[in-house]
Structure 1
Amino acid sequence: MVEAAEVYVYFNFRSPYCYLASKNMFRIFEQYHARMVWRPLGGWGGRSAPERAKKKMPIVRQDVRRHARRLGIPFNPPPITTDPTPAGAGSLLAESEGLLRPYIVEVMRKEWGEGKDIGDLEVLLEVGEEIGLPRGALSKAIESEANLQRLEDNWAEAQERGAFGVPTFIIGQDIFWGNDRIDFVCDHLRELGLRRL
């Protein structure tokens, strides 16, 4: 039996590049013997500092719009004040319930496809209802101090390992930064002989 590679995924729901990655990163785990090690971040973890982000925003929006057009997906940015921390904390419950993929896809669709504020608890609870997460459990997970601490710990771990942005994929010592590096992740796994037949 082939031993699956661990692919660490550092992800911030507020990043438009994570939105783009959410549309095709799952093929890594469908096409290769690989196991996702989910590392969500909150707040500004993995993102440019607020002053720099403000300067970059017009160019980033142009860039993401081009990518979205090529992928055939909508791009409607959320309010600038959107806080990704609740979504990151909620993703930990989704992961434990085996619903991480639909959670990621639906949260990103609401945020970047429909322009919703995912810092709003009701938006996340609506996603939970759509994918089968109980409102009470999701609300508790979002407010959990332990989950909020995990988001901070994930960013500290990411930086220790050499990551400086999101999305970042790490396999052993190899770091792949950006939504457009998913093909390189797949190439690396293929070179390791982990392609599924």
Structure 2
Amino acid sequence: MTATIDFYFDFISPFSYLAQLRLPEIARRHGRALAYHPIDIPEAKIAAGNYGPSNREVPAKIKVLTADLQRWARRYDVPLTFPASFECGAWNTVAIFAARHGAAEGFVRDAYRRIWGLGIDPRDRDELRASAASAGLEADAALAFADSEEGKRDYREARSKAYARGVFGAPLMFVDDQIFWGNDRLDFLEEHVRTN
């Protein structure tokens, strides 16, 4: 048994938005740490051999997916608004910076609130700056990391490690020898950590 739940997410993922609403409490309730690992979903799909179109490119699928997202949002009693763009690479990189400064949970929670709760444009650096500050980070340093060669390298390395581990999408959680994919698998995840 490991003491950590590894949470792989991408800020473009609305289902990761939903998962992160419950995961921290599940981890606390069962004495597990929660480790945050940002990925790039389109890249993860390709790394896993999935060359199909994105959900947004399949009208019938996006219609059902959107309805499901609204159902989940009502169940969790949270707002859900599609963001103005899906360019979240800088946010994912800042998540690495936040994890290194003990602020991953706060940053991820606030970032998702802005991106999927309010539907902001992730390209807006003022929003990213405000989200970093709300998590207690030094905002200028966080944005500088996102733009730096170090930040880009570290995000690239984090993604490579995730794909080598078998990460193919998000949200995806590893705990002990088990893998759970999707916010709708959190009950299974909690059952596992409760009994192991």
TM above 0.5, yes or no, is yes
Structure 1 residues 26-49: Cα deviation after superposition (integer angstroms, max 9, x where no partner):
112211121223211136344686
User: How many Å separate the matches in 1 of 2:115 and 2:64?
Assistant: 19
Unaligned 5+ runs, structure 2: none
Aligned to 1:18: 16
The root-mean-square deviation of aligned C-alpha atoms, in Å, is 2.1
- Structure 1 residues 118, 131: closer, same or farther in 2, change over 3 A? same
1:182 corresponds in structure 2 to: 186
Please show how residues 58-73 of structure 1 align to structure 2 within 5 Å: 58-73=63-78
Determine the C-alpha separation between the residues in 2 that align with 1:9 and 1:144.
Answer: 24
Structure 1 spans left out of the alignment, 5+ residues: 193-197
Count of residues in Structure 1 that have an aligned counterpart in Structure 2: 189
Identity %: 26
TM-score (norm 2): 0.86
Instruction: Report the 3-state secondary structure (helix = DSSP H, G, I; strand = E; otherwise coil) of the residue aligned with 2:93.
Output: helix
Is the counterpart of residue 124 in structure 1 residue 124 in structure 2? no
CA distance in 1, matches of 2:80, 2:65: 12
Mapped to 1, the partners of 2:87 and 2:152 lie a distance apart of 13
Aligned counterparts of 1:31 and 1:132: Cα–Cα separation in 2: 24
8 Å CA contact retained: 1:10, 1:169: yes
Task: Supply the distance in 2 between the matched residues of 1:156 and 1:34 (Cα, whole angstroms).
Answer: 25
CA deviation vs aligned residue, 1:36-92 (integer Å, no higher than 9, x gap): 23211136344686833221322221111110011111111102x321111111111
DSSP 3-state at the match of 2:42: coil
**Residue identity opposite 1:62 in structure 2:** A
- Residue aligning to 2:6: 8
- Which residue identity is paired with 2:69? V
CA distance in 2, matches of 1:178, 1:167: 5
Q: How far apart in 1 are the matches of 2:123 and 2:41?
A: 10
Q: Does 1:169 align with 2:167?
A: no
Specify which of 37, 62, 74 is matched with residue 79 of structure 2.
Answer: 74
The answer (yes or no) to whether the contact 1:89–1:142 under 8 Å persists in 2 is yes
What displacement does 1:163 show?
2.5
**TM-aligned CA deviation for residue 169 of structure 1:** 0.6
1:145 alignment counterpart: 149
Aligned to 1:111: 115
1:99 Cα deviation from its structure 2 partner: 1.5
TM-score after normalising by structure 1: 0.86
Q: Which residue of 2 aligns with 1:195?
A: none
Corresponding position: 1:99 with 2:103? yes
